[in-house]
Every structure is written in C-alpha cells, then in structure tokens.
C-alpha cells in the first residue's frame, strides 16, 4: 500500500467508525487526531502518519465530504465550548482551508497564532477591539469587548497575507533563510520578514524557515501558490546548499515547502 492509499484508507476507516453526522464532534476530531489525520506529515502518535505533507488534501477531502455542516463559525464555537469544558480560557485558533466553497478543517491551536499580529493590526486599523484585548478579558473573567469578525475587517482592508515557508526535509538542517527573504523582498510585493531561521540554528521538520508579510494574496484557492511566490520558493530551494529532494515535496494545501495563510483565515 502506497502513502496515498494509506491516507485514504485511514480516512475512510475513521468516517466509518466515527460517522461525523452521528457522533459528537469532539469524538470525531479526537478520532482524526488519533488516526494520524490532523497533520499527516507529523510522526505517528503525534497527530500524523509520517507521510508526504501533500497528502493532507487526500485526508481532508474524504473527511469533509462526510461532514454535513460546513459552517466555520458553528464549528469554531463548538470547538471553543469543548476547550472551555476543560478549563481553557483565552485565545485559540481553528484552521480551515476553503476549497470550492467547502471549508476543510485542519487543526486547533490553543495559543496565540502566527496570524495574531496581523489580525490585531487589521482590527486596530479599523478602530475595533483586537484579539489581545479579548484574550485579556477572557483571562480576567470579563466579557469580551464588542468586535467584528476578522474576515469582515479583512474584506474591507488592503490586501495582506502571511507567506510562510516550512522545512519538510526528513532531517533537521542548518538553513540560511536570508536568500529566501531577499527574493521575496525583490518582488516589490513584500512588506517585511517577521520570522526567519538562521544557519546557527537547526531547523527541524515542520518548523518555519521564514514568515513574510505580503501586500497581496499569495494563493487563489489555498491549494497552490501564485506567481511570483511559487518561483521565490523554487528558486531558493534550487540555490540552497544541502537541501534534500524531499524538501520539494508538496505540503498540505499549498504546493512545495510552503503553507499559505490569507487574511480571510486570520485568527481562525
């Protein structure tokens, strides 16, 4: 059985044993994690199957097809109530990829997100309460200040995206992200690099090589990069010394070693 068949058969088994229309959503999500479908390139036992990251789309399509309620807000509220039942208070993020109008759930992050800074800038720029204030209110047992959804704010704001490149090599490597950042900045469409690794650090599998703020969307569907961004990554990989072939394998959602987060997904 090849990796694609392994992911597909695992997803079909989870749907058969935990039908999402008949079991509590919490049970379904836990079953997905236990089966290794949360982020398939992660190791077995840590939410993954240890397979190529591009196969996440195979799992997502099967699981999403079995879910009747694709409403992101309703799903996020359900997950928030589940976290609250365990005593969690404060910020959390729920990640979805929307494909052909269908939201595909990927993961829950009970922490500040990589997009928190950008979402706060959008909210403050629109004169709205930001996620940081809402987090403090939750920790202090206070009602959250009135706020508008980040997706609504993003629709009114100038185009903004996080362009995040992750390392998908089998082994941790000492990587120089500065050529990647220079390529991104040379497009004239990047604002700044908020995060980047350096050669003095070992960058492990799944870790961010760089996170760059862009003036435009970097994807049309959430499943592949548009130009010049796809070219930025391929050029960097071609010129980076010691980059193994596996670094060019497709990641979940967007192609290559990169993950895309557009303004519509900021803050979950």
Is residue 221 in some structural domain? yes
Residues 139 and 201 in one domain: no
Residues 127 and 164 in one domain: no
The two structure tokens encoding residue 40: 């398939």
Residues 165 and 256 in one domain: yes
Is residue 16 in some structural domain? yes
Is residue 64 in some structural domain? yes
Is residue 179 in some structural domain? yes
- Short-list 149, 156, 160, 163, CA closest to 268: 149
Residues 188 and 96 in one domain: no
115 CB contacts (<8 Å, ≥6 apart)? Answer: 93, 162, 261, 265, 266, 267
Is residue 9 in some structural domain? yes
Residues 97 and 146 in one domain: no
Last residue of a domain, one of 127, 155, 183: 155
Residues 254 and 181 in one domain: yes
Residue 54, CA atoms < 13 Å, CB-side half-sphere: 11
- Short-list 24, 133, 36, CA closest to 69: 24
The two structure tokens encoding residue 110: 């009970």
Last residue of a domain, one of 77, 109, 141: 109
Residues 13 and 90 in one domain: yes
From the centroid of its chain, how far is CA 20? 22
Is residue 167 in some structural domain? yes
Q: Which residues pair with 210 in a beta bridge?
A: 165, 196
CA dihedral angle for residue 121, residue 125, residue 131, residue 132, rounded to 10 degrees = 80
d(C-alpha 259, C-alpha 236), whole Å: 15
**Using CA of residue 168, residue 260, residue 160, residue 268, what is the dihedral sign?**
negative
Find where tokens 């229309």 sit. Answer: 21
The pLDDT score that the predictor gives to residue 264 is 34
The pLDDT score that the predictor gives to residue 257 is 34
Q: Which CATH number characterizes residue 88's domain?
A: 1.10.540
Last residue of a domain, one of 94, 128, 155: 155
Residue 107, judged by CB atoms within 10 A of its CB (0-12, 13-18, 19+), counts as middle
pLDDT tens track of the chain, all 268 residues? Answer: 788 889 989 998 998 888 876 788 888 888 999 999 988 999 988 889 999 888 888 888 788 766 644 567 777 888 888 888 889 999 998 888 766 656 778 888 888 887 788 888 878 878 888 888 889 988 898 887 777 776 667 667 777 788 889 998 888 999 999 999 999 999 998 888 988 999 999 999 889 899 898 888 888 766 688 899 999 988 988 886 444 422 222 222 232 333 333 333 333 3
Is residue 238 in some structural domain? yes
Residues 169 and 226 in one domain: yes
Residues 168 and 195 in one domain: yes
The pLDDT score that the predictor gives to residue 65 is 67
What phi and psi, each to the nearest 5 degrees, are found at residue 165?
-110, 125
Total tally of structural domains belonging to the chain: 3
Residues 51 and 19 in one domain: yes
What phi and psi, each to the nearest 5 degrees, are found at residue 161?
-150, 155
- Domain of 120 in residue numbering reads as 116-155
Residues 173 and 211 in one domain: yes
172 CB contacts (<8 Å, ≥6 apart)? Answer: 202, 203, 204, 205
Tell me the whole-structure pTM to 2 decimals: 0.52
Is residue 99 in some structural domain? yes
How many other C-beta atoms can be found within 10 angstroms of the C-beta atom of residue 189? 18
Residues 141 and 200 in one domain: no
């Amino acid at each position: 059985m090849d990796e694609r068949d392994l992911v597909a058969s695992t997803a079909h088994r989870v749907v058969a044993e935990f039908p999402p229309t008949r079991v509590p959503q919490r049970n379904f999500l836990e079953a997905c994690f236990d089966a290794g479908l949360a982020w398939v390139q992660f190791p077995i036992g840590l939410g993954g199957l240890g397979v190529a990251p591009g196969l996440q789309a195979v799992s997502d399509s099967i699981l999403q097809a079995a879910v009747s309620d694709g409403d992101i807000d309703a799903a996020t509220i359900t997950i928030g109530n589940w976290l609250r039942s365990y005593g969690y208070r404060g910020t959390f993020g729920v990640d979805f990829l929307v494909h052909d109008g269908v939201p595909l759930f990927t993961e829950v992050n009970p922490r500040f997100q990589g997009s928190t800074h950008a979402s706060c800038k959008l909210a403050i720029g629109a004169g709205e309460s930001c996620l940081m204030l809402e987090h403090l209110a939750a920790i202090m047992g206070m009602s959250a200040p009135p706020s508008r959804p980040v997706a609504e704010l993003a629709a009114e704001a100038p185009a903004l995206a996080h362009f995040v490149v992750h390392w998908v090599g089998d082994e941790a490597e000492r990587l120089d992200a500065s050529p990647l950042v220079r390529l991104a900045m040379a497009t004239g469409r990047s604002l700044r690099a908020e995060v980047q690794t350096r050669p003095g650090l070992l960058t492990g599998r799944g870790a961010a090589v760089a996170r760059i703020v862009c003036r435009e969307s970097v994807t049309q569907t959430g499943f592949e990069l548009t130009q010049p961004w796809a070219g930025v990554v391929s050029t960097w990989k071609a010129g980076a010394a010691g980059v193994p072939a596996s670094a060019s394998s497709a990641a979940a959602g967007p192609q290559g070693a990169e993950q895309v987060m557009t303004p519509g997904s900021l803050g979950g």
